[in-house]
């Protein structure tokens, strides 16, 4: 599914994100269709990845169910493989990025000689992929278009993006969710390296929204061989969509002005689809079942579910 194009009674708003099509129903509920679009460097790539939407939606459903004792979540029903229905929340305009290891953006910052990221000091003497002494939170602004920007805790509160009271709750929830995610990953022989959470609010209640612990929002390492690879200075074997970013960089694309997305061949598309299915099975421990649903059947199921809700 590249685009959903659903016709849903009671629709009061529609938002098309990089990957998700979001329908607001009667200003109270949201129907989130997770497409097979794929983005990297904040750019939507020109070809969809078969079953990617199903992978993301089903991993998120499993992870949100497993963490609802920590913080309430927005989900009310998952009527289709790539569709979730839930509460419409007032979204906090920041993403809570939490990092357990010196990897990705944090490593690129560290490698450049800087020792501060989003107002957080990173200790000296670390190698790429080393564990931080304790997880760090490096928030970003939440951009509807273009790039999310690094921002510090102090700037978020000073600019009034989030109140001090609410931000302290977001920090608490973020660290607790990350700890649970690490515990779940450990049982699967994985290390949850870094991830991001988005939160919203209805009245005085904060909810975790969107997806959590999916291969698009998170990075995993295989636990087996981690120590040996660190000692040898070798790259870690990881589960994430980082392999797509690496392929793009190898082909001269990092989302910068004037750069063209390299040609995505059928062979490459199929390999990415297979990797996403592998991610699902490794992260959840469940067998992935490919499900194909017609648009007409999908709309019927969504309407039936909304009527029940």
Indicate which CATH number applies to the domain containing 163: 3.30.470.20
Per-residue model confidence (pLDDT) at position 37? 92
Alpha carbon dihedral 35, 43, 141, 204, in 10-degree steps, equals -10
With respect to residue 262, please indicate whether it lies within any of the assigned structural domains.
yes
Across all residues in the chain, what is the average pLDDT? 93
What mean pLDDT is predicted for residues 194-203? 97
With respect to residue 110, please indicate whether it lies within any of the assigned structural domains.
yes
pLDDT one-digit tens code per residue, 157-196: 999 999 999 999 999 999 999 999 999 999 999 999 999 9
Domain count along the chain: 1
Per-residue model confidence (pLDDT) at position 200? 97
pLDDT exceeds cutoff 70 at 147: no
Per-residue model confidence (pLDDT) at position 215? 85
With respect to residue 57, please indicate whether it lies within any of the assigned structural domains.
no
pLDDT exceeds cutoff 70 at 146: no
Q: By residue range, what is the domain housing residue 257? A: 91-309
**163's tokens:** 């109140």
pLDDT exceeds cutoff 60 at 145: no
pLDDT one-digit tens code per residue, 255-274: 888 888 888 999 999 988 99
Distance CA 30, CA 177 (A): 23
With respect to residue 52, please indicate whether it lies within any of the assigned structural domains.
no
Per-residue model confidence (pLDDT) at position 243? 79
With respect to residue 68, please indicate whether it lies within any of the assigned structural domains.
no
Per-residue model confidence (pLDDT) at position 240? 72
Per-residue model confidence (pLDDT) at position 143? 65
pLDDT one-digit tens code per residue, 30-74: 999 999 998 888 888 989 999 999 999 999 999 999 999 999 999
With respect to residue 47, please indicate whether it lies within any of the assigned structural domains.
no
pLDDT exceeds cutoff 70 at 2: yes
List the strands of the sheet with 11-16, edge to edge.
11-16, 20-25, 29-34, 83-87, 75-80
Per-residue model confidence (pLDDT) at position 78? 96
Per-residue model confidence (pLDDT) at position 110? 97
pLDDT one-digit tens code per residue, 289-299: 999 888 889 89
With respect to residue 29, please indicate whether it lies within any of the assigned structural domains.
no
């Amino acid at each position: 599914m590249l685009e959903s194009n659903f016709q849903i009674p009671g629709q009061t708003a529609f938002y098309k994100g990089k990957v998700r099509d979001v329908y607001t129903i009667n200003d109270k509920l949201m129907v989130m269709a997770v497409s097979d679009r794929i983005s990297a460097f904040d750019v939507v790539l020109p070809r969809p990845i078969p079953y990617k939407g199903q992978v993301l939606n089903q991993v998120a459903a499993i992870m949100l169910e497993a963490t609802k004792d920590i913080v309430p979540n927005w989900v009310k029903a998952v009527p289709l493989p790539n569709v979730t229905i839930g509460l419409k929340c007032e979204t906090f305009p920041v993403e809570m990025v939490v990092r357990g290891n010196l990897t990705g953006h944090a490593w690129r910052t560290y490698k450049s000689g800087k020792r501060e990221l989003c107002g957080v000091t990173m200790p000296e003497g670390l190698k790429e992929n080393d564990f931080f002494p304790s997880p760090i939170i490096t928030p970003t602004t939440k951009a509807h278009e273009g790039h999310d920007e690094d921002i510090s805790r102090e700037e978020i509160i000073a600019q009034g993006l989030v109140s001090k009271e609410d931000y302290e709750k977001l920090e608490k929830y973020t660290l607790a969710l990350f700890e649970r995610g690490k515990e779940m990953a450990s049982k699967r022989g994985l290390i949850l390296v870094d991830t991001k959470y988005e939160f919203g609010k209805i009245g005085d209640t904060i909810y975790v929204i969107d997806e959590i612990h999916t291969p698009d929002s998170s990075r995993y390492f295989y636990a087996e061989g981690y120590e040996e690879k660190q000692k040898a200075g070798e790259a870690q074997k990881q589960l994430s969509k980082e392999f797509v970013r690496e392929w793009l960089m190898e082909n001269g694309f990092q989302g910068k002005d004037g750069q063209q997305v390299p040609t995505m061949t059928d062979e490459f598309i199929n390999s990415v689809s297979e990797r996403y299915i592998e991610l699902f099975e490794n992260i959840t421990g469940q067998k992935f079942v490919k499900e194909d649903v017609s648009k007409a059947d999908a709309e019927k199921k969504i309407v039936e579910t909304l009527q029940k809700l």
